[in-house]
Amino acid sequence: MEQHKIPQATAKRLPLYYRYLNNLQHQGKTRVSSQELSDAVKVDSATIRRDFSYFGALGKKGYGYNVEYLLHFFRETLDQDELTEVALIGVGNLGTAFLKYNFLKNNNTKIVMAFDRDANKVGTKIGGVPVYHIDDLEEKIGDIHVAILTIPASEAETMTERLVENGIEGILNFTPARITVPSHVRVHHIDLAVELQALVYFLKHYPLDNEKGNKKE
């Protein structure tokens, strides 16, 4: 609850850095420069150095960064040791895919329960995660504070109210609905149809160069 100084843009890149540093460590690399990192994660090297600098001087001039040290540092900063439990609401196409995916790899989050209103799904386990009836939400949710929302858009608003009443403070919303929440609740929207449409729009209206080279975003 401390660091107010880290820009949101930086915070969003931290998990990315963290994951790549993990890869490096598994490969046995002990040092890395901002330029190498830049090539790998496709973020400008100056931006990477700036990002790291918000946490103090983590590197050594003329040497780069020590992978081990950086990882150790980020593990603390990103609370990697502390597991955050997540509930998934709506075991449909998308929800099922998430349940089968192991978010725990390089990650400190775990889906520990799922809810649906379809009696055929209730009682089963998908990817090791138990599926409960949505009517039992109040009973089962415990002190989980993060939810993934993968129900039809028409259900989103009502469900959100219910989730918030039951202590949810963070929602990853895959529904196209733009849900309304009290100000202490944080919602991140991932709108796949919009992403696809935006990509197509950029392709048509923002022509890129025609030569070799790299571009991000």
Ligand X SMILES: NC(=O)c1ccc[n+]([C@@H]2O[C@H](COP(=O)([O-])OP(=O)(O)OC[C@H]3O[C@@H](n4cnc5c(N)ncnc54)[C@H](O)[C@@H]3O)[C@@H](O)[C@H]2O)c1
Partner DNA sequence: ATCCTTTTGTGAATGATCTCACTAAAAACT
Partner DNA sequence: AGTTTTTAGTGAGATCATTCACAAAAGGAT
| Residues of each annotated binding site | 90-95
Beta carbon of residue 137, minimum distance to DNA (angstroms, whole number): 33
Distance, CA of 75 to CA of 128 (rounded, Å) = 26
Q: List residues forming the annotated binding site for NAD(+).
A: 90-95
Select the span of 6-14, 56-64, 80-88, 89-97 touching ligand X (CB under 6 A).
89-97
Show Cβ contacts of residue 27 under 8 Å, excluding neighbours closer than 6 positions.
Answer: none
Instruction: Assess contact for 184 and 162: CB atoms under 8 A.
Output: no
Binding mask 97-126 for ligand X (x = CB under 6 A): xx--x-------------xxxx--------
Beta carbon of residue 61, minimum distance to a second copy (angstroms, whole number): 26
Residue from 17, 24, 37, 90 in contact with ligand X (CB under 6 A): 90
Position 175 contacts ligand X (CB under 6 A): yes
Beta carbon of residue 67, minimum distance to a second copy (angstroms, whole number): 18
Residue 168 binds which entry of a second copy, DNA, ligand X, none, CB below 5-8 Å type-dependent: none
- Select 46 or 199, whichever has its Cβ closest to a second copy: 199
Q: How many residues bind ligand X (CB under 6 A)?
A: 26
Beta carbon of residue 196, minimum distance to a second copy (angstroms, whole number): 5
Residues lying near ligand X in the complex (CB under 6 A): 89-95, 97-98, 101, 115-118, 134, 150-153, 155, 159, 174-176, 192-193
